[in-house]
């Protein structure tokens, strides 16, 4: 398991600014050299976005364009910020601040508090859930542990979306929030929570951002000092910013536009926390002169994995889908993804465990294998299957099943019932082991129907339901099994699964797998009702589920296994079907037509000032495969697709025209202070010299001639193709 888009760093600090650019692909180099004005990097999964933006900062610092102390790079996790700082040091750009939003805001808040507010700064609470509990007691509202967690999360969402207690009920209704309690109750709890913090001189994590925003808004002198310190901003994972974080970023910037954002709308999977891709999607509207660079060369996954990932997004709907990026794998071919249907969930888990055992026996390290599922409640059956197969594993982003509080409490209740059940009236009407377990666990919160929503209450129910299912399986295999037998089975399983597992297979939810990658990935439970999850009802929720599966697929480097079960338990009704997201992508399923409007190929779009009216590029109405115009073979390589012919097919390029175009490009690049390829790449010039376009429409059909370049350079290029001289002053003269 490694950080996503991991790449080999320089063994030693580059000795020149140009050396910093070595090893970057053309689009990454375009990111690194686009140092002025607003820049938006649309970076697909596995395309090396961290490499591109760290080299951009390092190149700017080493070239003397950026002062290290004036750069603030912002990301979302301490791990990502630490990785960024390490890469910058190796590139000779020490002194650049790389922090999370909260870390940067806290640093500023601590520094300016005495001047802006006065007195000691309030203490930051360690566990806000205790204050929520106190607020519930003050309001005479009873909340169990799981409800406390859900209400706490709802308060956090309210604060990052800048929703005050009095507006909560209306905003929650407007945005279709699935509130864990009555919205009026949550609003009351939220207000009481804020009152308690104020009375106790405490602030929480979200207050750090809110208070920093407040000071920057109210104190012009403070805002000017911050803006004098930081002049250049880089924001990673921009699709995940909340409205509150966006407001803080705007206050840091002021009226300036030295901002570089990096993101991928197709990896927006945290909207339930307040994150929104709207700021990324609206970037070019807010900054009309922005340079936009698209990274689509996937260095992580094989062409087979990338093809499945692209296929998932080709069926997507909605605004994010209109800006999707079609990845182009840069790796050697690998095996096709394996799609497997199982009769029931235990068989699915055993099948995955068996394959994993064989992979490890063949030499694949256990740490390079992951099993990814939609909800944490699915982990237990895979923990058991791997334990039975003798495969070590580790859980990421979740407690071990038998360590979960509700499971420990339920196990204790079952143990007590097994010991004293004869005197327990709760068991009077039970006739077999499953009914006894259901009766006992009904006192712990289990019901025959799952609760609505997707929070902690649902996860708790799913944990208890797993115990009910285990009792049913136990009774099916041993009809005379008792509660005592079940408790003994639980103890044996718990003991087996608590063995140390240092180099184990990773078990993780899809959400917690974001930012990671493995050689082999098993995507399990990919069936309707789980993917998309049953409580995803709106079009927006369904599309986020599709993006979540896309994130799972793009975690795999070499091998991908996708599976589902038609029944929950052995002998059950086979009424489940594979996820709709796999329609047309798995063998034997009906094809679904691809949708147009994708983000398209990689490249750069530079800002324009003045110029003639834009000549729009012809709109693509279908996504038919690119074919060689000489031999007709399907083209896969990005360079061949740009030339519209195979590399080894004969070229009809006008060599004289190509050389005139290269000379014109050299002059253009030097006059604008950019590398030659930022005007047009060699491949694009070759394609122009082969096609010999005579009209703007013909020129626009050539890959690499995007609308902005057509507007800026089209007249010159067409004049050169027509044999005319283009007046241009060479800055070298």
Spatial distance between the Cα atoms of 94 and 13, rounded to a whole number of angstroms: 11
43 is in an annotated binding site: yes
49 is in an annotated binding site: yes
Spatial distance between the Cα atoms of 241 and 279, rounded to a whole number of angstroms: 8
**506, 284 contact by CB (below 8 A):** no
**569, 519 contact by CB (below 8 A):** no
- The number of C-alpha atoms within 13 Å of 76 and in the hemisphere containing its C-beta is 18
Beta bridge partners of 71: 232
Among candidates 169, 181, 172, which has minimal Cα distance to 143?
181
Longest dimension (CA), the chain: 103
Peptide bond into 682 cis (omega under 30): no
Q: What are phi and psi of 677, to 5 degrees?
A: -65, -15
50 is in an annotated binding site: yes
Q: Are strands 556-565 and 505-509 parallel, antiparallel or unpaired?
A: unpaired
Q: Are strands 291-295 and 603-605 parallel, antiparallel or unpaired?
A: antiparallel
* Host H or E run for residue 492: helix 483-497
3-state secondary structure of 690: helix
Distances, alpha carbon 73 to alpha carbons 41, 44, 259, 567, in Å? 14, 20, 10, 48
Spatial distance between the Cα atoms of 701 and 705, rounded to a whole number of angstroms: 7
3-state secondary structure of 74: strand
The alpha carbon of residue 224 and the mean position of all alpha carbons in its chain are separated, in whole angstroms, by: 34
34 is in an annotated binding site: no
Spatial distance between the Cα atoms of 277 and 238, rounded to a whole number of angstroms: 7
46 is in an annotated binding site: yes
Q: What are phi and psi of 2, to 5 degrees?
A: -135, 170
Burial degree of 649 (CB within 10 A; 0-12, 13-18, 19+): middle
Spatial distance between the Cα atoms of 200 and 122, rounded to a whole number of angstroms: 9
* Host H or E run for residue 234: strand 232-235
Distances, alpha carbon 702 to alpha carbons 125, 179, 645, 647, 657, in Å? 58, 52, 12, 17, 16
DSSP-assigned states of every residue in 96-133: -EEEEHHHHHHHHHHHHHHHHT-SPPPEEPS-HHHHHH
45 is in an annotated binding site: yes
Binding residues for ATP: 43-50
Binding residues: 43-50
């Amino acid at each position: 398991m490694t950080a996503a888009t991991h790449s080999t760093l320089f063994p030693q600090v580059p000795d020149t600014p140009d050396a910093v650019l070595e090893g970057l692909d053309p689009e990454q180099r375009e990111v690194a050299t686009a140092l002025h004005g607003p820049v938006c990097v649309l970076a697909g999964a596995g395309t090396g976005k961290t490499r591109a933006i760290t080299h951009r900062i390092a190149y700017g610092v080493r070239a003397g364009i950026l002062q290290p102390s004036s750069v603030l790079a912002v990301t979302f996790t301490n791990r990502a910020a630490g990785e960024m700082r390490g890469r910058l040091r190796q590139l000779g750009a020490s002194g650049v601040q790389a922090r999370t939003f909260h870390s940067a805001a806290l640093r500023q808040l601590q520094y300016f508090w005495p001047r802006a507010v006065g007195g000691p700064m309030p203490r930051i609470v360690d566990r806000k859930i205790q204050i929520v509990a106190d607020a519930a007691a003050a309001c005479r509202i009873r909340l169990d542990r799981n409800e406390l967690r859900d209400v706490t999360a709802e308060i956090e969402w309210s604060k990052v979306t800048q929703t005050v207690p009095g507006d909560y009920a209306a905003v929650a209704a407007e945005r279709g929030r699935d509130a864990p309690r009555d919205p009026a109750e949550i609003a009351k709890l939220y207000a009481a929570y804020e009152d308690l913090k104020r009375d106790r001189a405490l602030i929480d994590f979200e207050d750090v951002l809110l208070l920093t925003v407040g000071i920057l808004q109210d104190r012009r002198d403070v805002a000017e000092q911050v803006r004098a310190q930081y002049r250049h901003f880089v924001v990673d994972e921009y699709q995940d910013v909340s409205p509150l974080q966006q407001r803080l970023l705007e206050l840091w910037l002021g009226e300036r536009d030295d901002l570089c954002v990096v993101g991928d709308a197709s990896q927006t999977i945290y909207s339930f926390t307040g994150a929104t891709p709207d700021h990324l999607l609206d970037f070019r509207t807010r900054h009309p002169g922005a340079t936009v660079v698209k990274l689509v060369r996937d260095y992580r996954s094989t062409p087979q994995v990338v093809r499945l990932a692209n296929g998932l997004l080709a069926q997507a709907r909605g605004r994010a889908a209109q800006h999707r990026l079609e990845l182009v794998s840069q790796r050697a071919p690998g095996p096709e993804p394996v799609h497997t249907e199982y009769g029931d969930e235990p068989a699915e888990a055993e099948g995955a465990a068996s394959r994993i055992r064989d992979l490890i026996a063949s030499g694949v390290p256990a740490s390079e294998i992951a099993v990814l599922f939609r909800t944490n409640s699915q982990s237990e059956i895979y923990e058991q299957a791997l334990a039975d197969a003798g495969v070590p594993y580790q859980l990421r982003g979740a407690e071990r099943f038998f360590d979960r509080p509700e499971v420990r409490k339920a196990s204790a209740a079952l143990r007590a019932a097994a010991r004293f059940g004869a005197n327990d009236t709760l068991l009077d009407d039970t006739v077999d082991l499953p009914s006894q377990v259901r009766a006992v666990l009904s006192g712990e919160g289990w019901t025959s129907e799952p609760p609505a929503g997707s929070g902690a209450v649902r996860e708790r129910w799913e944990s208890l339901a797993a115990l009910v299912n285990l009792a049913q399986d136990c009774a099916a295999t041993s009809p005379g099994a008792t509660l005592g037998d079940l408790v003994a089975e639980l103890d044996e399983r718990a003991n087996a699964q608590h063995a140390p597992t240092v180099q184990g297979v990773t078990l993780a939810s899809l959400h917690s797998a974001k930012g990671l990658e493995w050689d082999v990935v098993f995507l399990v439970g990919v069936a309707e009702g789980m993917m998309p999850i049953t409580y995803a009802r709106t079009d927006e929720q369904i599309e986020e589920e599709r993006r979540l599966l896309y994130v799972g697929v793009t975690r795999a480097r070499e091998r991908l296994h996708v599976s589902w079960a038609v029944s929950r338990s052995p002998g059950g009704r086979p009424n489940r079907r594979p996820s709709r997201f796999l329609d047309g992508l798995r063998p034997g399923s009906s094809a679904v037509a691809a949708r147009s409007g994708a983000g398209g190929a990689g490249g750069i779009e530079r800002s324009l000032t003045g110029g003639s009216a834009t000549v729009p590029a012809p709109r693509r109405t279908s996504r038919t495969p690119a074919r060689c115009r000489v031999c007709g073979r399907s083209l896969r390589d990005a360079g061949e697709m740009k030339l519209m012919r195979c590399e080894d097919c004969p070229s009809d390029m006008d060599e004289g025209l190509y050389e005139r175009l290269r000379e014109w490009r050299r002059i253009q690049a030097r006059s604008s202070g950019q590398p030659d390829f930022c005007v047009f790449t060699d491949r694009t010039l070759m394609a122009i010299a082969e096609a010999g376009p005579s009209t703007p429409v013909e020129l626009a059909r050539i890959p690499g001639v995007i609308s902005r370049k057509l507007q800026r350079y089209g007249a010159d290029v067409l004049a050169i193709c027509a044999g005319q001289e283009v007046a241009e002053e060479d800055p070298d003269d």
